[in-house]
Amino acid sequence: MISTGYFRAALGCILSSGLMGCMGGALYTPPGRELTNLPPAPLGIAIAGDRYYFANGRREKFTAVENGLIDVRRSSSYQYLRFHDFTLPAKSVSSRNGVTSFEVVKLHPETSLWPLAVGKRTRFSVVKTNAGTADGEAANPRSYWECSVEGMQTVAVISGEFETYRVECLRKNSRDKIKQYVTYYYAPDIQQVVLRTDGYSHKPAKQTELVAFRPSLSMLSSASERRFQQHFQNTLETVASGTTTSWWSRRSDTRIHTTPTHTRKLGTRLYCRNFLMRVSVKGSVRSGAGLACRNAEGKWRIPRKIDIHRGELTF
């Protein structure tokens, strides 16, 4: 764990939109200027082995991707099955408390948010079922969702600054009472949700902010992956911001381009850098972004958790 006396204020500088000045201690910069020129945005590609890191310490790994569904593992005791379309609820959640299932029914099957464009809307209902519960509305409550693409805007978060689509979803119960608001900020350039905010009628609001996305490297041999990881370390250690380095595996026809974008120094010993990564496998291109910091051993690592209130990074 690495802590600095003024980390809370300085982290805002790391997460800013590239300005040298500090923009405050929030985990993310409030959404910026409105945009009008983003082209329709497709849903990104998901591959088994993809990993996500979030500011609240959550880490997720895609363990299987098939037929529009993704198996996601957060820990040995918590896994869930979700749709490729992130605006839909999970199909099932497995935890120490058992299995909870969700049946999703589109109320207007012909409508879709994808590709994203301002003004698109969709509606669906969800029935929640806990293992072992009896049938019936009381035991298996139904909720109703409405999602719409409300706008386009810039947003600066831990993983970088992005132009995003803002997708807003509203959940109501069977008595038409609003229970939850969800807003997704989806960045077409990396085809990722970089920020999600949740507001509730019955508990505190929360936000989930992307620290880093690491595309699967399962196409590489163990030796090739080690060579790439060393290349990644060398890039963050020696390459100037804005400069792209390229790494190639001829055997798997894989090219990985890494671009450090911003560098910030905290105190006298802690350096952090934002980066973009573009992976091309036999012509299929995927992108990712993130933040990495140099730990006490001199290795660049994605922070496991960022605690803005206590002023700490955990690796």
pLDDT in tens, 294-305: 988 999 999 887
Q: What pTM does this model have?
A: 0.86
- Give the CA dihedral 108, 109, 113, 114, nearest 10 degrees: -160
Taking the domains of the chain in order of start, what are their residue ranges? 2-28+215-314, 51-213
**Average pLDDT along the chain:** 86
- Strand runs labelled E in the chain: 2-3, 51-54, 59-66, 69-75, 78-83, 92-95, 98-106, 121-130, 142-157, 160-172, 178-187, 192-200, 206-214, 245-249, 254-266, 270-281, 284-294, 300-301, 305-307, 312-314
Terminal-residue alpha carbon distance, the chain: 6
Give CA–CA dist 207/184, Å, rounded. 10
Which of 49, 79, 81 shows the shortest CA–CA distance to 62?
A: 49
Topology of domain 51-213 in CATH is YmcC-like fold (2.40.360)
Contact 52/210 with Cβ under 8 angstroms? Answer: yes
Q: Taking residues 139-159, report their average pLDDT.
A: 91
pLDDT category of residue 12 using cuts at 50, 70 and 90: very low
pLDDT category of residue 2 using cuts at 50, 70 and 90: very low
pLDDT at position 277, please? 96
Predicted confidence (pLDDT) per residue in 60-107, tens digit: 999 999 999 999 999 999 999 999 999 999 999 999 989 999 999 988
pLDDT at position 66, please? 95
Lowest mean pLDDT among 8-17, 102-111, 280-289: 8-17
Tokens of 283: 């012509």
Whether residue 136 has pLDDT greater than 70: no
Buried b (16+ CB within 10 A) or exposed e, 6-37: ebbebbbbbbbeeeeebeebebbbebeeeeee
- Contacts by 117-122 with C-beta closer than 8 Å and gap 24+? 117/40, 117/41, 117/149, 118/149, 118/150, 118/151, 118/152, 118/165, 119/148, 119/149, 120/148, 120/149, 121/146, 121/147, 121/148, 121/149, 122/87, 122/146, 122/147, 122/148
Whether residue 131 has pLDDT greater than 80: no
The secondary structure of residue 90, as a DSSP letter, is: P
pLDDT > 70: percent of the chain:
84
CA distances from 242 to 32, 210, 226 (A): 22, 21, 24
pLDDT at position 1, please? 38
Tokens of 218: 């399962």
- Rg over CA atoms, the chain: 20
- Strand runs labelled E in 204-244: 206-214
Q: Point out which residues pair with 83 in neighbouring strands.
A: 69
Give CA–CA dist 188/164, Å, rounded. 7
